[in-house]
Structure 1
Amino acid sequence: MQFGIFTIGDVTADPTTGRTPTEAERIKGAIAMAKKAEEVGLDVFATGEHHNPPFVAPANPPVLLANIAAQTQRLVLSTSTTLITTNDPVRIAEDYAYLQHLADGRVDLMMGRGNTGPVYPWFGKDIRDGIPLAIENYALLRGLWTEENVTWEGKYRSPLQSFTSTPRPLDGIPPFVWHGSIRSPEIAEQAAYYGDGFFHNNIFWPMSHTKQMVQLYRRRFEHYGHGSADQAIVGLGGQVFMRPNSQDAVREFRPYFDNAPVYGHGPSLEEFMRQTPLTVGSPQQVIDRYMTMRDHVGDYQRQLFLIDHAGLPLELALEQIEILGTEVVPVLRKEQDALRPAHVPEAPTHESLLAAQREDVLDTDDAFEGATL
Structure 2
Amino acid sequence: MQFGIFSVGDLTPDPTTGRTPAEGERIAAMTEYALKAEEVGLDVFATGQHHNPPFISSAPTTHLAYIAAQTRNLLLSTATTLITTTDPVRIAEDYAFLQHLSGGRVDLMMGRGNTGPVYPWFGKDIRQGVPLAVENYHLLRRLWREDVVDWQGKFRTPLQGFTATPRPLEDTPPFVWHGSIRSTEIAEQAAYYGDGFFHNNIFWNIEHTAQMVDLYRRRFEHYGHGSADQAIVGLGGQVFMAGSEAEAKRAFRPYFDEAPVYGHGPSLEEFTRLTPLTVGTPEMVIERTLGFADAVGDYQRQLFLMDHAGLPKDVVLEQIEILGREVVPVLRREFEARRPAHVPSDPPTHASLSAQGVSSPHRMVVPSRPVPVPAASSVSA
1:349 paired residue number: 349
2:41 paired residue number: 41
2:211 paired residue number: 212
1:66-120 deviation line (CA, Å, top 9, x unaligned) = 0000000000000000000000000000000000000000000000000000000
Q: Which runs of 5+ in 1 are unaligned?
A: none
1:303 paired residue number: 302
Distance in 2 of aligned mates of 1:44 and 1:282: 23
SS at match of 1:239: strand
RMSD (CA atoms): 1.7
2:50 is aligned with 1:50: yes
Question: What is the identity, as a one-letter code, of the residue corresponding to 1:13?
Answer: P
2:277 paired residue number: 278
2:315 paired residue number: 316
| Deviation (angstroms), 1:173 | 0.3
Change (3 A) 1:19 1:368: closer
1:42-82 deviation line (CA, Å, top 9, x unaligned) = 0000000000111111x221000000000000000000000
Q: What is the 5 A alignment of 1:61-140?
A: 61-140=60-139
Question: What is the identity, as a one-letter code, of the residue corresponding to 1:144?
Answer: L
Return structure 1 stretches of 4+ with deviation > 3 angstroms: 358-371
2:149 paired residue number: 150
| Deviation (angstroms), 1:17 | 1.0
Distance in 2 of aligned mates of 1:290 and 1:370: 41
| Deviation (angstroms), 1:358 | 7.3
TM-score (norm. length: structure 2):
0.95
| Deviation (angstroms), 1:214 | 0.1
Pick which of 361-370 and 137-146 moved more: 361-370
1:208-244 deviation line (CA, Å, top 9, x unaligned) = 0000000000000000000000000000000000001
Distance in 1 of aligned mates of 2:287 and 2:47: 27
SS at match of 2:154: coil
SS at match of 1:99: helix
| Deviation (angstroms), 1:366 | 3.9
Change (3 A) 1:133 1:310: same
1:9 paired residue number: 9
Pick which of 102-111 and 338-347 moved more: 338-347
Distance in 2 of aligned mates of 1:355 and 1:131: 33
Distance in 2 of aligned mates of 1:65 and 1:276: 29
* Aligned-pair identity (%): 72
Change (3 A) 1:326 1:24: same
Question: What is the identity, as a one-letter code, of the residue corresponding to 2:255?
Answer: Y
Change (3 A) 1:184 1:369: closer
TM-score (norm. length: structure 1):
0.97
Pick which of 331-340 and 274-283 moved more: 331-340
Q: How many residues align?
A: 370
SS at match of 2:234: strand
Distance in 1 of aligned mates of 2:110 and 2:268: 30
Distance in 2 of aligned mates of 1:170 and 1:178: 18
Question: What is the identity, as a one-letter code, of the residue corresponding to 2:12?
Answer: T
Distance in 1 of aligned mates of 2:176 and 2:251: 37
SS at match of 1:271: helix
Change (3 A) 1:365 1:200: farther
| Deviation (angstroms), 1:137 | 0.1
Q: What is the 5 A alignment of 1:15-34?
A: 15-34=15-34
